Structures are given as structure tokens and as C-alpha cells.
Amino acid sequence: MSMEGSPVKVILDTSIYIPFINDGIENPVIDLRSRKPLSFLCAVVIEELYAGAHDKTSINLLDRLYETFNKIGRLIVPEAADWQRTGKVIAKLGNKYGFEEKFLSKITNDVLIALSARKIGAMIVTKNTMDFIRIKEFVDFKIYI
């Protein structure tokens, strides 16, 4: 049975949203090679987007984005067990790649995003492939490359 054309769950990483938000576009359109994306929003991604918002227009856009995903039941929020697992994965990443503070604080959010995607069987779409490939060594999730 061909999967072509069937919807695929996706979580767009912050790196995908930023250029669109900067251009005033609330939700980017992505091409997944003939597969229709069914988008979910990870609470970690919206937090990162708000943290980088520097003007009222961007904040209003993010408010609409958040409200839309929350209203349709496609907002994914990490649970306590996800935080626990994140700590364990970060320890493994630190042992393998070093414990540089900047790397570990940045990777925390990415691990939470990966675990959120795994939980719902979604694929992560990102421009930040190197960090997610490292995480994939310790967490089984799908990434669009």
C-alpha cells in the first residue's frame, strides 16, 4: 500500500518558523514530497518563538498561532516523564560530545521537541539537523532531512 499522498504528522522546529514569522506569515507551508503534512505545535517551539519575538506584530502573530493549535487540539506539551528522559539523554550527549554549557542548554529544548514528536508519531522538520541527528543516537524519532 502506497503512503504517497497520505497525511504525515509533523512538528515544525523553531528554525522553520523563524523566517516565516519574520515575514509576517503565521503558519508556513511545507512540501514533503507528495505527502500532506498534518501540523502539530510543540509547546517548546512556541516558547522559543516568543523568547525571540521583539515586536508587537510578531507577538500577535504568535498569539494567533498558539490559539489556533490549542483550539484544534494539536498543541503538544511535554510531561514530567519527558523532562526526566530529557535529563538522561542530555547526560548521554554530554558524555559523548562534552558538557559545554551553551550546547547543553540549547539541546534541552531540542530533546523535548524530539520526545514530543516521538510521543505522537510525528516527524520533525528542521534546519537544525546536526543537533537532532545527535539526539537521534539516543531517542528513536523521525526527522525530515
The per-residue pLDDT for 33 is: 65
Angstrom distance (rounded) from CA 71 to CA 143: 26
- Give the CATH number, domain containing residue 91: 3.40.50.1010
What length does the chain have? 145
pLDDT digits (tens, 9 = 90+) for 112-134: 999 999 999 999 999 989 999 99
Strand partners, 37: 8
pLDDT at 21 > cutoff 50: yes
- pLDDT at site 24: 64
Grid coordinates standing for 1? 500500500
Count of domains forming the chain: 1
pLDDT digits (tens, 9 = 90+) for 80-114: 999 999 999 999 998 888 877 777 778 999 999 99
Q: What is the pLDDT of residue 118?
A: 97
| In-domain check, residue 2 | no
pTM of the predicted protein model: 0.88
- DSSP summary character for residue 28: -
Q: Which three cell numbers stand for residue 104?
A: 547543553
- Asked if the structure places residue 89 within a domain, the reply is yes
Residue 46 lies in a domain: yes
Is there a domain that residue 3 lies in? no
Shortest CA distance to 16 belongs to which of 35, 32, 34?
A: 32
Instruction: Determine the Cα–Cα distance for residues 2 and 9; give it in Å rounded to an integer.
Output: 16
User: In degrees, to the nearest 5, what angle opens at C-alpha 112 toward C-alphas 110 and 114?
Assistant: 70
Instruction: Assess if residue 1 is contained within a domain.
Output: no
In percent, how much of the chain has pLDDT > 90? 63
Euclidean distance between CA atoms 46 and 75, whole angstroms: 10
